[in-house]
């Protein structure tokens, strides 16, 4: 099944050429600032299965690991679309909030739980990872 999503203004679309049985919650500070919230929700998808069309910009930032992370966002409305890092190999992280279909996909992993905000409970059944594996 092909999954399709879009940014807030609808000018940037994302298509994923595979299904997912789980997604990731990330509590790292970069994801918090990118999402403007307490965490972000993502899947890792092989880059060959990702198609992004529309106006996008990239922003490079150095992660605490020392790796450069390239953040991709809609250049019109600013919606976070994706991010890439050598840590992901041939995959890229796709922000799942842009896809209505992910509302029914369970969370399998929480990353950077050491930075989870007080008051946000652990996702039942999800693997709890202190930082980046």
What residue segments make up the domains of the chain, in order of their start? 3-128
Q: Are strands 127-128 and 107-111 parallel, antiparallel or unpaired?
A: parallel
pTM for this entry: 0.92
Chain segment 114-133, per-residue pLDDT in tens:
999 999 999 999 999 998 76
CATH 1.10.3720.10 matches 3-128: no
Q: In angstroms, rounded to a whole number, what is the distance separating the alpha carbons of residues 87 and 67? A: 8
Which tens digits make up the pLDDT trace of 57-106? 999 999 878 889 999 999 999 999 999 999 899 999 999 999 999 999 99
Residue among 38, 49, 61 at smallest CA distance from 117: 38
Residue 36 has pLDDT above 80, yes or no: yes
10 pLDDT more than 70: yes
Are 90 and 107 in contact by the 8 Å Cβ rule? The answer is no
Beta bridge partners of 61: 69
For 123, the enclosing helix (H) or strand (E) is none
The two beta strands, 91-95 and 40-46, are antiparallel
């Amino acid at each position: 099944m092909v999954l399709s999503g879009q940014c807030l203004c609808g000018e940037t679309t994302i298509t994923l050429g595979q299904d997912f049985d789980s997604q990731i919650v990330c509590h790292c500070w970069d994801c918090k600032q990118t999402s403007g919230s307490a965490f972000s929700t993502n899947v890792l998808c092989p880059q060959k299965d990702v198609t992004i069309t529309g106006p996008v910009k990239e922003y490079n930032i150095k992660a605490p690991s020392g790796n450069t992370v390239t953040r991709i966002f809609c250049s019109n409305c600013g919606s976070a679309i994706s991010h890439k890092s050598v840590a992901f190999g041939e995959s890229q992280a796709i922000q799942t909030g842009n896809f209505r279909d992910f509302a029914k996909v369970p969370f399998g992993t929480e990353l950077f739980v050491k930075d989870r905000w007080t008051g946000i409970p652990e996702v039942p059944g999800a693997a709890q990872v202190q930082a980046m594996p």
